[in-house]
Chain A
């Protein structure tokens, strides 16, 4: 086994309701789930897994504000400090005229910032290859994975029993 690799055992379920029941059972049995993989977002799963709400939208707000300030302060600087000009008798600092561009840059910064953050924190990006536990996960199977490293000898059997008991259609071990 190479450095950084870990041994896992995973089970595939045919339905999201089976998956949710299995997660509840794992919580009851105090089994530490490594991760859950699904073909689509399964609602009601996050609280069962103890996942806190994503803070991505807070990031979006900060990026958006950055866009607002960039646009508004940028145009203000250009029109009042760098090169004041009279356009058709309008004031040097026409705040109302700044509204559309300020709005557009707010949206632009928030979107680019959030999408970039999303890919970076997920460890994703063009050409990046992450380990795919099983090809059916993006098709029709719902997967629960456990790490088996650092546990006593009978742990794997205990997990196999758990998968059997909760109705997994396939159970396999793998080194990732």
Chain B
């Protein structure tokens, strides 16, 4: 990271010959103007979905889990499918902000803020399902280990379900802290432009940020360490989610391939959701100079790689089922592909394995419309994947007499629609309140990646920038840089 020189063959990440002030204007103005008609309409739709979801949740709590069509064979249906799907979507934000920070990928600055916001909202949606699917939400605090009068009765620390609780609550907390700490300097920028009530609001949100050199130094140190901590964390979360299945004794679930396969799938679906929303956001808020085709292409490359990993995992599963000679495992996979839910298996294969292969073509990677539809395909495919793993596998028990079939009730569908409502309502509020692109980070990379600097025949070439640095260093002060510089 840093404002150091970039190779001229790199595509500029900030277009339109921006100045620092222009960046402030472009990125703050969406929070300053009145909401557009499109936003209002989208907000009404999202809020209606949210309301419908809340009604369905109330019905579930009031009447009981009996309002869902789960049965004694299929104990997990849409609830856990949605849970895993949302957790997966929540993986892109931290991957972009943490892992790509450690890998010095400057293009992350264009999309990290919005992707982190999506992470937080997706984890909120995900966390809802374990809470309501236990049936008695009023005793949900039994999940947590605390000194109690029931024995004392502690939760089972050997259980992956409890690990999951710790993983998801830690993931949510760390993502929130990381996101908010990054937002503070940008809230300060909005604060210093605002008047009246908005000034008061952003003064509160900006926590008294001044921009002092020492504060920036600590801010960078904090971001780097949080990124270092969040990197294994993001890998651990979906690993532990996969343990929920992998440590069970259900054929088709207890496979050691699950952790890497789930993590790759999570990143795959997370990036797809980021693409879906960023393509709309950049268009509506006119951010094409900050979220360029280069950004979209980079994310499509991640989708291609992770989609291919997922595809290899599917094929490996099939191969191992055959190679193991274990009839129960073989039957589980036979049943997935050719059983009563065959359509979900083929949906999953088509959306997750075949469709991302189109991204080998640079032309398609840089085509916004194609990317948009592909991102939706991927998310449908990844939903099917979880449904295949969960419901399809459970539907065919060991004894044919307990074989069953499962179709969701309107309440189950309503809760899923409701989580989409929660996600989009929060996202729409977020784009009105906070700068969608990290202002300070874009300014930071401008001299290294702005189009007027990054091109070979730019006004200030990087050699000049570099010789400027040399002069400073020759002055005898700057012989070394801080911890994460250059």
Contact = CB atoms under 8 A, between A and B. Distances in A.
A140 B24 contact: yes
Contact of B486 (A17, A43, A108): A43
Interface string A8-24: 00000000110011001
A159 interface: no
Contact of B215 (A122, A125, A135): A122
Contact of A118 (B158, B218, B443): B218
A43 B240 CA distance: 39
A119 B207 contact: yes
A105 interface: yes
B400 interface: no
Interface in B439-486: 440-441, 443-444, 468-469, 472-473, 475, 477-483, 485-486
Contact of A56 (B153, B204, B225): B225
Give the most central of B203, B219, B222, B485: most A CB within 10 Å: B222
B213 interface: yes
A69 B263 CA distance: 28
Interface string B200-239: 0001100111111111111111101110011011001000
B31 interface: no
A43 B208 contact: no
A54 B209 CA distance: 18
B440 A131 contact: no
Contacts of B184: 124
Main secondary structure of the interface of A (DSSP, over half): helix
A132 B472 contact: no
Nearest to B205: A126
B21 interface: yes
Given A24-B472, A97-B158, A115 B222 contact: yes
Interface stretch (A33-41, A146-154, A163-171): A33-41
B192 A139 contact: yes
A94 B177 CA distance: 32
B157 A75 contact: yes
A77 to B, nearest CB: 10
A136 B20 CA distance: 11
A135 B212 CA distance: 13
A4 interface: no
A103 B152 CA distance: 25
Given A44-B485, A119-B207, A107 B218 contact: no
A48 B478 contact: yes
Interface string A98-116: 1011011101101110110
Given A44-B472, A56-B218, A87-B158, A103 B207 contact: no
B2 interface: yes
A15 to B, nearest CB: 9
B431 to A, nearest CB: 20
A38 B213 contact: yes
B153 A112 contact: no
Contacts of B131: none
Nearest to A28: B475
A54 B153 CA distance: 44
A125 B2 contact: no
Nearest to A127: B204
Contact of B477 (A35, A47, A88, A118): A47
Q: Which of B188, B204, B224, B486 has the most CB of A within 10 A?
A: B188
B217 A54 contact: yes
B4 interface: yes
Contacts of B214: 35, 51, 54, 122
B174 interface: yes
Given A47-B480, A122-B215, A135-B192, 6 more contacts: A44-B472, A44-B481, A101-B163, A118-B181, A126-B204, A126-B207
Contacts of B243: 100
Q: Which of B4, B163, B225 counts the most chain A CB atoms within 10 A?
A: B225
Nearest to B473: A44
Contact of A132 (B192, B216, B240): B192
A118 B473 CA distance: 30
A161 interface: no
A42 B211 CA distance: 11
B208 A130 contact: yes
Contact of A40 (B177, B233, B440): B440
A152 to B, nearest CB: 27
Contacts of A138: 185, 188-189, 191-192, 209, 211
A134 to B, nearest CB: 9
19 contacts: A38-B213, A39-B189, A47-B478, A54-B483, A56-B225, A75-B157, A78-B157, A83-B152, A83-B154, A100-B160, A104-B163, A104-B233, A108-B173, A111-B174, A122-B214, A124-B184, A124-B208, A127-B203, A131-B210
Given A119-B207, A128-B208, A43 B154 contact: no
